[in-house]
């Protein structure tokens, strides 16, 4: 081989060795270089959508790029979740998720187009107990009367649920109380609350944000909350535990990315979410909706998902609760 050719080969080999051995952060140091999209699998105006829009407002000053929210509503948020799971893992397409699509779907659906392993958790954004709502004109003054009402007229008793989490928790409510409420699917918690307002469904268990919005209209009333203690914003509303119903539940909202997204991007986003959740104006906005501001690490978030999926799957199987 001629000296020049040999020299060229050595240069090429050295360059390959240098590039191939560089840490992944060398290729993501300029992240983000373009706008970021946060996909929401539910309708606009619901709790998940509200949290996504808070991030969309607060992330740009931290990241130096616009952040847009894209709603892809469907039953169980399956369409939006699958879209992000199948997206390029480059940090530009993210998912604002909740237990319904991330945990409960895998407990009650026998087949889904995406798996838990296809999404990498970034951080919680908030946590919220559920509020049991009925139309303000419903004659039931408490949960006991509501349950009795459903037993007397089971063909007219139903509930709205926008995801597997609300469905499974409400079905457990049925099992615990002997109630006869039938499931009516909706594409967002706001839609479920609206259905109660219009009388299309008898009741719904909604997270605090949409519930708060509904209660402000005066067209729905709260009969119980699923938290361990009474909520400070609803001091006169009893917990289910107080009523002798052993059911406690809350719904977190969190940010996720496609599996394979570089770890330094995950860490950057997690740190920025933590900064946003700690901002006084964000905390004030969330608490005004009876939502608890909360962040955690990707590892902590991942552990919660890995622990809860088999627990809820077993519970669903024991109570014969399925979605297909």
Q: Name the domain count of the chain.
A: 2
pLDDT at 240: 96
Taking the alpha carbons of 153, 155, 159, 163 in that order, is the dihedral positive or negative? positive
Domain containing 203 equals 129-225
> What residues in the chain have per-residue pLDDT under 50?
1-15, 17-27
Same domain, 274 and 219: no
Q: Are 251 and 207 in contact (CB under 8 A)?
A: yes
Last residue of one domain, picked from the residues 207, 225, 243:
225
Residue 169 CB partners (closer than 8 Å, separation 6+) = 130, 205, 226, 247, 249
Same domain, 123 and 30: yes
Last residue of one domain, picked from the residues 185, 209, 225:
225
Residue 78 in domain = yes
CA distances from 169 to 84, 162, 308 (A): 26, 12, 14
Residue 235 in domain = no
- Residue found by looking up tokens 């999926």 in the block: 309
pLDDT at 5: 46
Same domain, 265 and 213: no
CA distances from 121 to 124, 196, 279, 304 (A): 8, 33, 22, 10
Same domain, 106 and 34: yes
Q: Which CATH number do you get for residue 184?
A: 3.40.190.10
User: Residue 138 corresponds to which tokens in the numbers above?
Assistant: 């419903």
Same domain, 181 and 44: no
pLDDT at 55: 98
Last residue of one domain, picked from the residues 208, 225, 242:
225
Paired sense of beta strands 119-135 and 220-225, if any: antiparallel
pLDDT at 119: 98
Residue 48 in domain = yes
Same domain, 139 and 114: no
Q: Which CATH number do you get for residue 66?
A: 3.40.190.150
Residue 9 in domain = no
d(CA 212, CA 224): 13
User: Residue 87 corresponds to which tokens in the numbers above?
Assistant: 């997206």
Same domain, 296 and 260: yes
> pTM of the prediction?
0.77
């Amino acid at each position: 081989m001629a000296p020049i050719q040999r020299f060229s080969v050595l240069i090429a080999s050295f360059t390959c060795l240098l590039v191939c051995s560089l840490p992944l952060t060398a290729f993501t140091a300029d992240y983000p270089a373009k706008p970021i999209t946060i996909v929401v699998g539910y309708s606009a105006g619901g709790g998940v959508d509200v949290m996504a829009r808070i991030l969309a407002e607060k992330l740009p000053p931290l990241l130096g790029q616009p952040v847009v929210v894209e709603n892809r509503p469907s039953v169980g948020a399956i369409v939006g979740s699958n879209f992000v799971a199948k997206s390029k893992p480059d940090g530009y397409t993210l998912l604002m998720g909740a237990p319904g699509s991330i945990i409960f779907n895998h407990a009650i659906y026998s087949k889904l187009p995406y798996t838990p392993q296809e999404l990498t958790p970034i951080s919680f954004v908030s946590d919220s107990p559920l509020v049991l709502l009925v139309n303000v004109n419903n004659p039931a003054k408490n949960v006991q009367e509501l349950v009795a009402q459903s037993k007397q007229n089971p063909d007219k008793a139903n509930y709205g649920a926008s995801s597997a989490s609300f469905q499974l928790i409400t079905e457990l409510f049925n099992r615990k109380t002997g109630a006869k409420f039938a499931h009516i699917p909706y594409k967002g918690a706001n839609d479920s609350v609206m259905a109660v307002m219009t009388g299309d469904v008898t009741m719904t268990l909604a997270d605090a944000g949409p519930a708060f919005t509904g209660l402000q209209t005066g067209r729905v009333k709260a009969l119980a909350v699923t938290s361990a203690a009474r909520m400070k914003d609803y001091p006169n509303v009893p917990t289910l535990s107080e009523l002798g119903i052993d059911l406690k539940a809350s719904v977190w909202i969190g940010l996720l990315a496609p599996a394979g997204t570089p770890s330094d991007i995950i860490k950057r986003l997690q740190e920025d979410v933590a900064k946003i959740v700690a901002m006084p104006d964000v905390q004030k906005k969330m608490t005004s909706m009876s939502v608890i501001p909360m962040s955690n690490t990707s590892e902590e978030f991942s552990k919660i998902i890995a622990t809860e999926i088999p627990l809820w799957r077993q519970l669903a199987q024991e109570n014969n609760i399925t979605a297909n």
